[in-house]
Structure 1
Amino acid sequence: MGTLRSAAWFAAKGKTGIMHRSWLRSEGLPDDALDGTRPVIGIANSWSELTPCNLHFRELAEHVKRGIWQAGGVPYEFPTTSAGEPLVRPSAMILRNLISMDLEETLRANPLDAVVLLAGCDKTTPAYLMGAASVDLPTLLITGGPMLNGKYRGTDIGSGTSIWRLTEQFRAGELSAAELAEAEGCMARSNGHCMTMGTASTMALLTEVLGMQLPGSAALPANDSRRKKLAHLAGRRIVEMVGEGLRPSTILTRAAFENAVRANAAIGGSTNAVVHLLALAGRVGVELSLDDFDALAADVPTLVNLMPAGQFLMEDFCYAGGLGVVVERMGDLLDRQALTVTGQPLGQNYLGAECFDDQVIMTAESPLKPAGSGIAVLRGSLAPNGAVIKQSAASPELLVHTGRARVWDRVEDYLSEADDPDCDIEPDDVLVIRYSGPKGYPGMPEIANVALPKRLLEKGIRDMVRISDARMSGTSYGTVVLHVAPEAADGGPLALVRNGDRICLDVPNRSLELLVEEAELAKRRSAWQPRPVPGTERGYLRLFVDHVGGADTGADFDFLVGGSGDAVPRQAF
């Protein structure tokens, strides 16, 4: 196994070694756990009662510890900042980079030879991988698993997706307040993250495709006892990885990211995967661009029939055969030789996977959506640095559309107007919600799929073109153009749109155009002034707005791009 990193602490002579070892003896550890000869494994835990998706991680960590002890390692569990997607305001995205910094500095500062990451909620998974990748210690991820299917009056309902649908029905007068309250109580009925193909499920599956999770980990429901078994096996495997020197930099290659981009199209994954994969690639120095998400997925059909683009939920996906079936059915669309945490290539991990329900995981010959119907990258005068749209969640008849712009600088102002029965919003209008990007809100919240005006819902309208520099939940649906870059707060063209302008969306031709003469835009540009963002005068939000990059590059901090390795910190005494 060679000299362990932790030996710099525990095998140190004299006063230094005594300082490092003596306080840990209060934990009742045997002498050989403190002499620098056994691998020391950190267990990063994003457990928090404010992060309900990750609420079961305390128990899961105990099963990881069993495996570590069994394999001859020494486990140390530690907490980090956590972010609960349903609760954090103004946006959990603000905390992604902070969590990654928290983890990175904890790993670098402490006597750890490797780490197991316990993550699950939307931002904890990418944040943990970003932080660990920057340090490049042997790393193995365990996601918490999806909730069981929601059950309401004999039907399955899904987190997020069903909320949007049911609240629209309520606002349209098709559902009573009592019925809506009953559905609310039926949705989250177990531990785990969203069971739709939202961001949490998407990132869990993609990190397994990237090779950072044990095969079969992502899809198992949170309450399934087999997840505990996998946690135990992960504890054993991470000790072996120390001996092998298997690090994220060896696994997170260009081939791995190409696999993840293609797999995202096959599973009908979240647009949030774009910003997270771009940020992670930046940490490990892999060239990945916004355009790759369109080009690499052009020949990939959508195979997984899950909400919001389809019918089923993650529990059904698991029982149908899970990710292994997707990998097998994608065939040579994936680089099957890409290395994974098992020490084996991706294809070997899933060899012979069987499908038990072709309605849930469909075939390439009879897919849910044809090739090229996943995430499209749009460019044009309104989005020179790019924007994205999830075609599989959009209305086909709106993918080519020209309409009158209706513009709001604050989403709160739009929502107030949308509830006005006399609002001047028509079905063919293009709703523009701006100053909601990484800097502008700040934090790029999931508000782009704004609810439609109540007056139009009552007339049966269920979709309109919406354009924003914000994000939307992976559980959402609708013809929503997202991540417009440069964002309005940076003076991008989105900031120049005025009420009554014409906007042309043409998804087949990948264009998003503001139909205003360049001379007029130049006048508007010269008159434009940056807007102050309340609450960003000091502290972490000041750091955030000063250093966050655009959505088109992953919205990471400029000073975090690129890793710095696992160097032992200088001696403190």
Structure 2
Amino acid sequence: MNDDPSEPVTGLTRGLTNYGDTDFARYLRLSMARSMGLSSDLLKKPVIGIATTYSEFNNCHRGVPDLVEAVKRGVLAAGGLPREFPTISLGEPFLNPTALFFRNLMAMDTEEMVRGQPMDAVVLVGGCDKTVPAQLMGALSANIPAIQVVTGPMSTGRWRGERLGACTDCRRFWAKFRAGEIDTETVEEIEGNLATTQGTCAVMGTASTMASLTEALGMMLPGTAAIPAVHADRLRAAEASGAAAMMLAAKRLTPRMIVTEKSVENALRVLLAIGGSTNAIIHLTAIAGRAGVKVDLQRLNTLSDETPVLVDLKPTGPFYMEDLHAAGGIGAVLRELKPMLHLDALTVTGETLGERLASEPGYVDRAVVKSREQPLQPVGGLVSLFGSLAPRGAILKRAAADPQLFEKEGRAVVFTSLEDLAARIDNPDLDVQADDFLVLQNAGPLSPSGMPEAGYLPIPSKLARAGVKDMVRISDARMSGTAYGTIVLHVTPEAAAGGPLALVRDGDRIRLSVSERRIDLLVEEAELMRRRQDRPDTSAQATRGYAKLYRDHVLQADEGCDLDFLRADPPE
């Protein structure tokens, strides 16, 4: 028993169950722990929790059990007691309506299990798109020492002499199929060669972007974001993370000491430099919000104009995550950005970012990671747009878009829902031309579809067959990080919340100006007022369970789509 009130309670005697008798609670807990076959010596060690997200509904996490075992080795070797526990797992293509809908539930699960169980630090093991954000959100709210371990990206497959990696290549071939360039037998053959190993998507999609940003935030061991899932170094990184968790517990270095305004801005710089996923804006905003830090979309534009694109990965370039790892990883990117970064930001190693980057740089493959003096693009991959159509902002991934469409006015072709889109997009009688703007309504966080990755509206088949490869597409939906095109996303406020997007009608004129950072609906205010009076309620209805909690409390995209009562107050 620990009878000295000046000494912190650690190990299995933290947070005792309340029976009204503290000594009995300790006695009962240790008795139950002994039933697991643990020695008396181990019961006295610091406890490191391991949040495991293995699920047979999550292909990305097939390797999680091996990672957990490696973490346990690291904890034991450092003198601690590892305790594995499960949380919700979010397999992106296996969830309805969307994985984003369940992200906040997973964050709540993670927070409560980290806070409610006796652990001195926690190792978060995950990888799939919404999993890492959920784990970081939960860890920041619980605010005990924490470190992230990711599953790592898949290795590429081979098909008829081509390298393939889900899911940029799956979209490319699906577009060819829709255009009639390949047949059903061929697309099914490709299907079996897109994702051939464990791990997350092999490109700079959302999962790889979030892994990269976690390293930039300082919540992951240096050099571990891009290690392929099947590489032995991935297991060694997990083992080292288990040992690092023991150090974090000893120093009581908590997530809110690491995730600060400075580290969030560092992460934004890296996001822009790697041409990362648009989803990352929503997730980083939600993560930062758990630390009381605001992500300002106007500030994003300033950073974007200063930060070059340095990484040449798919969906915009020819390379894959395994190439980035071999080229020097996120460390190579951070070194190129060093003059632009807050080097006094703290990391989970106990060092500042500046101390990390002071070591001698290793080999850098300049075909994959460009220098700041000779960048891939002189400005960042993402921009925020504002205007009468998006008063609180929208996002465009200009690194994945056609610059010829950046300054353009077009006629709106409107789809009122995902169902309407599916029913009419390939109708040969659809009144649509290549210069039109495709507009999707009611696909935001409050809609019945739960803000899916549907912003990548398909090119109408009659235009695709005529050779049209890109069009301006506008919605309140999201887009997979593996997708590409001139696509305006996260229009806020969304249609279901009564935003201007809900008022767009077929034939309206819309003006896009990337140079001016604007997206405007060119309709007279008097006409818009008339339309507002006739606008039906398109928000999703829910009467029970998590769905009701979500519908009652979810925030808009510019606030990270978190639940309003989970965000933290700004730090003093």
TM-score, scaled to structure 1: 0.95
Where does the alignment leave 5 or more consecutive residues of structure 2 unmatched? 1-5
Q: Does 66-75 or 13-22 show the bigger shift?
A: 13-22
Give how far 1:253 is off.
Answer: 1.0
- The Cα offsets for residues 120-172 of structure 1, whole Å up to 9 and x where unpaired, read as 00000000000010010000000110000132211222212111111111111
**What corresponds to 1:254 in structure 2?**
261
1:129-278 equivalences in 2 (<5 Å): 129-278=136-285
Q: Does 376-385 or 183-192 show the bigger shift?
A: 183-192
Inter-CA distance 298–25: structure 2 relative to 1 (3 Å threshold): same
**What corresponds to 2:361 in structure 1?**
353
**What corresponds to 1:516 in structure 2?**
523
Contact in 1 for aligned 2:446/2:539 (Cα 8 Å):
no
Give how far 1:550 is off.
Answer: 0.2
- The Cα offsets for residues 530-560 of structure 1, whole Å up to 9 and x where unpaired, read as 12526x2322111111100000111000110
Equivalent position amino acid for 2:34 in 1: R
**What corresponds to 1:537 in structure 2?**
543
Equivalent position amino acid for 1:363 in 2: S
Q: Counterparts of 1:297 and 1:469 in 2: how far apart (Å)?
A: 22
Q: Counterparts of 1:83 and 1:146 in 2: how far apart (Å)?
A: 16
Inter-CA distance 217–317: structure 2 relative to 1 (3 Å threshold): same
Contact in 2 for aligned 1:209/1:256 (Cα 8 Å):
yes
**What corresponds to 2:76 in structure 1?**
69
Tell whether 2:301 aligns with 1:297. Answer: no
- The Cα offsets for residues 258-286 of structure 1, whole Å up to 9 and x where unpaired, read as 00001001111011110111111111112
Contact in 2 for aligned 1:135/1:564 (Cα 8 Å):
no
The alignment partner of 1:222 has SS state of coil
Tell whether 2:399 aligns with 1:370. Answer: no
Equivalent position amino acid for 1:544 in 2: Y
Q: Counterparts of 2:394 and 2:433 in 1: how far apart (Å)?
A: 24
Inter-CA distance 425–113: structure 2 relative to 1 (3 Å threshold): same
Inter-CA distance 230–563: structure 2 relative to 1 (3 Å threshold): farther
Give how far 1:2 is off.
Answer: 4.6
Inter-CA distance 564–503: structure 2 relative to 1 (3 Å threshold): closer
Q: Counterparts of 1:212 and 1:2 in 2: how far apart (Å)?
A: 27
Give how far 1:413 is off.
Answer: 1.7
Aligned with residue 399 of structure 1, among 406, 426, 439? 406
Contact in 2 for aligned 1:251/1:338 (Cα 8 Å):
yes
Equivalent position amino acid for 1:365 in 2: E
Give how far 1:297 is off.
Answer: 2.4
Contact in 1 for aligned 2:393/2:491 (Cα 8 Å):
yes
**What corresponds to 1:568 in structure 2?**
none
The alignment partner of 2:221 has SS state of coil
1:15-26 equivalences in 2 (<5 Å): 15-26=24-35
Give how far 1:18 is off.
Answer: 1.8
Tell whether 2:100 aligns with 1:107. Answer: no
1:307-346 equivalences in 2 (<5 Å): 307-346=314-353
Q: Counterparts of 1:532 and 1:385 in 2: how far apart (Å)?
A: 19
Contact in 2 for aligned 1:402/1:505 (Cα 8 Å):
yes
**What corresponds to 1:90 in structure 2?**
97
- The Cα offsets for residues 359-406 of structure 1, whole Å up to 9 and x where unpaired, read as 1111112211112x4211101100001001000001111111111111
Q: Counterparts of 1:482 and 1:177 in 2: how far apart (Å)?
A: 31
Contact in 2 for aligned 1:134/1:563 (Cα 8 Å):
no
Inter-CA distance 13–556: structure 2 relative to 1 (3 Å threshold): closer
The alignment partner of 1:529 has SS state of coil
1:6-85 equivalences in 2 (<5 Å): 6=11, 7-8=13-14, 14-34=23-43, 37-85=44-92
Give how far 1:415 is off.
Answer: 2.5
Q: Counterparts of 2:318 and 2:361 in 1: how far apart (Å)?
A: 22
Contact in 1 for aligned 2:412/2:439 (Cα 8 Å):
yes
Inter-CA distance 8–45: structure 2 relative to 1 (3 Å threshold): closer
Q: Counterparts of 2:23 and 2:125 in 1: how far apart (Å)?
A: 36
Tell whether 2:299 aligns with 1:285. Answer: no
**What corresponds to 1:4 in structure 2?**
9
Contact in 2 for aligned 1:210/1:260 (Cα 8 Å):
yes
Q: Counterparts of 1:456 and 1:158 in 2: how far apart (Å)?
A: 27
Give how far 1:5 is off.
Answer: 4.0
Equivalent position amino acid for 1:231 in 2: A
Q: Counterparts of 2:291 and 2:273 in 1: how far apart (Å)?
A: 25
Q: Runs in 1 of length 4+ with deviation above 6 angstroms?
A: none
**What corresponds to 1:569 in structure 2?**
none
Contact in 2 for aligned 1:355/1:361 (Cα 8 Å):
no
Aligned residues: 561
Q: Counterparts of 1:506 and 1:360 in 2: how far apart (Å)?
A: 30
Alpha-carbon RMSD across the aligned residues, in angstroms, is: 1.7
Q: Counterparts of 2:260 and 2:490 in 1: how far apart (Å)?
A: 25
Where does the alignment leave 5 or more consecutive residues of structure 1 unmatched? 566-573
Q: Counterparts of 1:410 and 1:435 in 2: how far apart (Å)?
A: 5
Q: Quote the sequence identity (%).
A: 47
Give how far 1:46 is off.
Answer: 1.1
Contact in 2 for aligned 1:149/1:314 (Cα 8 Å):
no
Equivalent position amino acid for 1:397 in 2: Q
1:377-456 equivalences in 2 (<5 Å): 377-456=384-463
Inter-CA distance 229–289: structure 2 relative to 1 (3 Å threshold): same
Q: Counterparts of 1:67 and 1:202 in 2: how far apart (Å)?
A: 26
**What corresponds to 2:3 in structure 1?**
none
Q: Counterparts of 1:219 and 1:5 in 2: how far apart (Å)?
A: 34
Contact in 1 for aligned 2:328/2:363 (Cα 8 Å):
yes
Contact in 2 for aligned 1:435/1:469 (Cα 8 Å):
yes
Q: Does 314-323 or 440-449 show the bigger shift?
A: 440-449
Tell whether 2:568 aligns with 1:562. Answer: yes
Equivalent position amino acid for 1:228 in 2: L
Contact in 1 for aligned 2:293/2:570 (Cα 8 Å):
no
- The Cα offsets for residues 460-513 of structure 1, whole Å up to 9 and x where unpaired, read as 001011100010000000010000000011100001111111011111100000
The alignment partner of 1:342 has SS state of coil
- The Cα offsets for residues 275-321 of structure 1, whole Å up to 9 and x where unpaired, read as 11111111111232222222222211100000111110001111111
